[in-house]
Amino acid sequence: MSGRLFVVSAPSGAGKTSLVHALLAADPGVRKSVSFTTRAPRPAETDGEDYHFVTPEQFAKMIAADDLLEHAEVHGNRYGTGRSWVLAALAGGADIVLEIDWQGARQVRRLYPDAVSVFILPPSIAALESRLRGRGQDSDAVIERRLHAARAEIAHVTEFEYVIVNTEFATAARELHSIVIAHRLLQPAQLARHGALLESLK
């Protein structure tokens, strides 16, 4: 049977990357789609693991060739999800998580209405600012722009099925994993997965 598509979105600094990493570590049945981006790598980021880092010209060619499932501009850089890898992984039965912004999530929901969407909220704007400053990667001006953008991004929370408030990381990680598990237990998925068992029980 085909896998399920999960979309996780959040404002910058809310913890979605760490939560997705925790989900991958906890559940070998989930795989993450590595996005393409035109932004420069941050310290300790690895090409092909954190992102596929490409030039704006390469990104434009991917759009023209319809190689991207979704794409959007975020904080002045472009991000997108490779179409062929996701479709192949889903067809192979893997559950796939996309770590993308609300714009990309909206595009994915149009293509895949059954995609499960999750929005991660920070416990407060002050906590979000503290996390952004704690990274030590951005200037004060960049942080201010990200905080301003966060308020606009959070306004789209009502477009998502699930909302997790990342107050305490371990709790938020369990909640995200619980969403994945619950969708595997839905009746259509279970009937498809255990058809032989059900026949033997009749």
Extents of the domains making up the chain: 5-201
For residue 174, give the amino acid letter. Answer: R
CB 131 within 8 A of CB 21: no
b/e map of 21-49 (b: 16 or more CB within 10 Å)? ebbeeebeebbbbbbbbbeeeeeeeeeee
Side-chain half-sphere of 53: how many Cα atoms within 13 Å?
A: 9
The rounded mean pLDDT for the chain is 93
Q: Which sign does the torsion angle of CA 131, 20, 154, 144 carry?
A: positive
Look at residue 12 in the predicted model and tell me its pLDDT. 83
Structure tokens at 129: 């600012």
The total of other beta-carbon atoms located within 10 Å of residue 81's CB is 24
pLDDT band at 144 (very low <50, low <70, confident <90, very high): confident
Is the predicted pLDDT of residue 90 greater than 80, yes or no? yes
Q: Domain 5-201, what fold?
A: Rossmann fold (3.40.50)
Look at residue 44 in the predicted model and tell me its pLDDT. 85
pLDDT band at 129 (very low <50, low <70, confident <90, very high): confident
Residue 98 has what DSSP assignment? E
